Structure 1
Amino acid sequence: MLNESIKGRSLITLEDLSTGQIQELINDAILRKQMKRNRVFPRKLQNYNIGLVFLRPSCRTRASFMVAATDEGAHPHVFAAEELRFGSGESVKDIARVLGRLFDGIAIRSHETTLIEEVAAYAGVPVWNAMSNQHHPTQVLADLMTIKENGIDLSGATVAYVGHGRGNVVVSLMAAAAKMGIDLRLVTPPGTEPEPELVSRLFGPAKHPMSRLIVTDEPEEGLDNAQVVYGDMWVYMDTGEDIAALTDGFRNYRITRHMMRMTGRNDTILLHCLPSQHNLETAFARAHPYAMDTEDAVFEGPRNRAFDQAENRMHTIKALMLATI
C-alpha cells in the first residue's frame, strides 16, 4: 500500500504524482510482475468494472489495461470510438456522470488532454490518461520500471531521448525526470525543442536535486555516457500531413550503431515506446523509408528493451489501478 495514498485519484499527467508515489507504483509493479510469473493472482478488483474509452488507435495501452484488469478479477469494457459522442451528440459532462455511475475506473485515450480532464472532473471515479497528444503517463511509468529492472538507479540515471522534443512521450519523460532525479538529454533537431514555459515549470526550484535537463541538436553531446537511449517515431502515422516534409529535419537522428557507440559505454540499453519503424516490413516504412527512426541492427540487437517496456505497461497499469481504486 502506498505511504502517500492516491486512492480515488485520477492520473492525467505525471505532475499529478510525487516522487514517492511514482517510486512506490514502480516497486509495486515489480512485485506484481513477480507474482504473475509465479501465477499468483490476488484478484483484488473482483466485481469491479473498468471502462476503456479509446477515441484513437491503441495496441499496447488498451491490451495492457484489459489484461491488468482481468488478472485482478475486474471486468474491462471497451467502447468503440463511435459509441460515445463526446460533445457532438451529448455533452462531455453528461457522459462522464453516466460512466462514473457504471464504472469503478475509466481509462481514456483522446487527442486532447482537456477532454480527459473534463471527464475526470465529473465522473467521480479515478480516470487514467491512456495517452493524449500532450501526455503519455502510463508509458513513462513502464519506462521507469524497465530502467530500474536493468539495475540503473533512477536518481542520477543518464537518459538520452532522440527524436521530436515536443511529443507526448518526451513531455511525460521530462515530468518523470524532474520528479525522480534523472539526467535527461533531449537530442532533437532545431525547432523541435520543448516549450520554454514547460521546461521552466518542470525544472524549476521544486525539481528533484539530482534532476538535470540538456536540450541539444548535437547527438555527440546528448549521448555521451548515456545509460539509456530512448527512441520514438518522429511523426504520428495518422497525421494526414506531408510526412516527407515533417521528417526532413530528422534524417540525422536515426538511432544507428554509430549513434549507440557515441555513449562510450557497452552496457547502454535501448528503449522505444513503439511502434518503431526500423525495417521495411510495414506499409508506412515502405511508403516513407526516410522516416525510419531506428536502424534494424540496433532494434534487433541485444541491448533492445522495448518489449520489456511493452510488457511492463501491464504491470505498472495494474499497480496504478490497484492504488487508485
Structure 2
Amino acid sequence: MTNTIFQGKSLLKEIDFTQAELAYLIDFAIHLKALKKANIPHQYLAGKNIALLFEKTSTRTRSAFTVAANDLGAHPEFLGPNDVQFGKKESTADTAKVLGSMFDGIQFRGFKQSDVETLAAESGVPVWNGLTDTWHPTQMLADFMTIKEIFGDYVGKNLVYIGDGRNNMANSLLVTSAILGVNITILAPDDLQPEAGIQQIAAEKAAETGSKITITSNLDAVKGADIIYTDVWVSMGEEDKYDERLEALMPYQVNAELFAKTGNDNCIFMHCLPAFHDLDTKTMSEIHDKYGYDELEVTDEIFKSEKSVVFQEAENRLHSIKAVMAATLGNLFIPKV
C-alpha cells in the first residue's frame, strides 16, 4: 500500500499542504537527519531520475537537492539557464512535457511562480519549488525544523522577521507561521511590507490556528521575540535598488542593540543565507567602497555569536528537502497524517 497523502504531489507553495502535512514533513526530516548521522541507508528513490532546473544561482538549494537525491538512491541531473529555454525558444509547458516524460521528479529554482506552476500542471510528475520570486517553501521546512530542534516545538513561539518585508522569504515566513501556529511579526518600513493578498492568506490561516500576526515598522516589536530572522536587503534581480534599500533598511539592521530590545536571553538568530555580515565577499567590498558600510542586514558580531543557528539551519535544507522528495515520490507507507 502506498500513501495517497503525498505520493505524486508537488510542493509549489506553502499552502499546498495542511498544517498536519507540513508538521509530518518536518518530523520526517528530523528522522532522516538521524538516519544520515547514523549512516543508515534510506534509498527510497532507487532508480529514479531527478531534473534540477536552475534559472537562479544557488549554493544551498543545489547542494541539498543533489545530495538528497544521491542519499535517496536517485540520479540528479543539473540543467542551468543555458540548458533549458523557460519560454525563450520553447514554451515552459512544452519543456514540462518533455522533462516529465524522461524524469520522475523536477526541482525548479527561478523567477516566476507561474513557471513552476506550469511545470507541475504539464509534466505529470512531482515538482518542487526551490525558490521563486514569490515563495520559498523548502526553506520553510528547514527553518521550522531548526526551530523545533532548538526549542522542542515551534507552536506558540514568537518569530520576528526584520528587513525587506516584500520578498519571498517574508511571504513564506508570514504564511507558514500562520499555518503552523507560530506568532509572526513582519518588521519593515511601511513601503516594504507584504502585499495585501499575501497578508490575506496569512490572516485566513491564522484564524484557524490562533497564530498572532503583527505587521509594523516599529522596532519595539522585537520585544519578546524567540527568533529574530532577517534576509538580504536586495534580492536577485534587484541589484539596481541598493541606494534606496540601504537608506531605508539600515535602521532595521540586526545588531546587539536590537537583540537587547527582545528582553529574551534565549532568542536565536536565523538567516537563509548568503548574508552580508563582513567584507569577505566581492559584493560587500564593492558596497563598502561605494557606501562605506562593513556589514548590512546583520552585524558580524551577531552572525558569529552563540545566538546564531544559521549553519544548523543551512544543513537542514538537505534533510527537509530529502523528506519532501521521499514523501512525494518514494511510495512510502504513510497511513494518515
2:250 aligns to what?
A: 251
Aligned amino acid, residue 228 of structure 1: I
Map 1:284-303 to 2 at 5 A. 284-289=283-288, 290=293, 292-303=296-307
2:74 aligns to what?
A: 74
Structure 1 pair 275/256, CA: closer, same or farther in 2 (3 Å)? same
Q: Deviations over 1:107-149 (max 9, x none)?
A: 0011100011111100000001110111101011100000000
- Measure how far apart 1:197 and its partner are: 2.5
- Measure how far apart 1:228 and its partner are: 0.5
- Measure how far apart 1:244 and its partner are: 1.7
- Measure how far apart 1:86 and its partner are: 1.9
1:209 aligns to what?
A: 209
2:38 aligns to what?
A: 38
2:147 aligns to what?
A: 147
- Note if contact 2:175-2:205 (Cα within 8 Å) is conserved in structure 1: no
**TM-score (norm: length of structure 2):** 0.93
Q: Aligned partners of 1:63, 1:70: CA distance in 2, in Å?
A: 11
State the SS of the aligned residue for 2:108: strand
Aligned amino acid, residue 287 of structure 1: E
Aligned amino acid, residue 314 of structure 2: A
1:29 aligns to what?
A: 29
- Measure how far apart 1:88 and its partner are: 1.8
Range moving further from structure 2, 284-293 or 4-13: 284-293
- Measure how far apart 1:250 and its partner are: 0.3
State the SS of the aligned residue for 2:134: coil
State the SS of the aligned residue for 1:243: helix
2:157 aligns to what?
A: 157
- Note if contact 1:2-1:323 (Cα within 8 Å) is conserved in structure 2: no
Work out whether 1:19 is the aligned partner of 2:12.
no
- Measure how far apart 1:3 and its partner are: 7.7
Map 1:1-325 to 2 at 5 A. 5-204=5-204, 207-221=207-221, 223-236=222-235, 238-289=237-288, 290=293, 292-325=296-329
- Note if contact 1:255-1:293 (Cα within 8 Å) is conserved in structure 2: yes
- Note if contact 1:2-1:24 (Cα within 8 Å) is conserved in structure 2: no
Range moving further from structure 2, 286-295 or 144-153: 286-295
State the SS of the aligned residue for 1:67: helix
- Note if contact 2:179-2:205 (Cα within 8 Å) is conserved in structure 1: no
Q: Aligned partners of 1:314, 1:88: CA distance in 2, in Å?
A: 31
- Note if contact 2:206-2:213 (Cα within 8 Å) is conserved in structure 1: no
- Note if contact 1:271-1:304 (Cα within 8 Å) is conserved in structure 2: yes
- Measure how far apart 1:208 and its partner are: 3.3
Structure 1 pair 295/53, CA: closer, same or farther in 2 (3 Å)? same
Q: Aligned partners of 2:4, 2:19: CA distance in 1, in Å?
A: 10
State the SS of the aligned residue for 1:52: strand
State the SS of the aligned residue for 1:170: helix
> Which residues of structure 1 form unaligned runs of 5+?
none
**TM-score (norm: length of structure 1):** 0.96
Q: Aligned partners of 1:102, 1:150: CA distance in 2, in Å?
A: 41
Q: Aligned partners of 1:142, 1:90: CA distance in 2, in Å?
A: 34
Counting aligned pairs with the same residue, the percent is 35
- Note if contact 2:175-2:198 (Cα within 8 Å) is conserved in structure 1: no
Range moving further from structure 2, 238-247 or 9-18: 238-247
Q: Deviations over 1:132-186 (max 9, x none)?
A: 1111010111000000000242211100101111110111111211111110011
Structure 1 pair 114/42, CA: closer, same or farther in 2 (3 Å)? same
State the SS of the aligned residue for 1:160: strand
Q: Deviations over 1:267-287 (max 9, x none)?
A: 111110001000111111122
- Measure how far apart 1:206 and its partner are: 6.6
Range moving further from structure 2, 186-195 or 287-296: 287-296
Q: Aligned partners of 1:120, 1:174: CA distance in 2, in Å?
A: 24
Aligned amino acid, residue 248 of structure 1: E
Structure 1 pair 317/297, CA: closer, same or farther in 2 (3 Å)? same
- Measure how far apart 1:306 and its partner are: 0.5
Aligned pair count reads 324
Q: Deviations over 1:223-245 (max 9, x none)?
A: 11111000110112542414122
Structure 1 pair 214/2, CA: closer, same or farther in 2 (3 Å)? farther
**Aligned-residue CA RMSD (Å):** 1.6
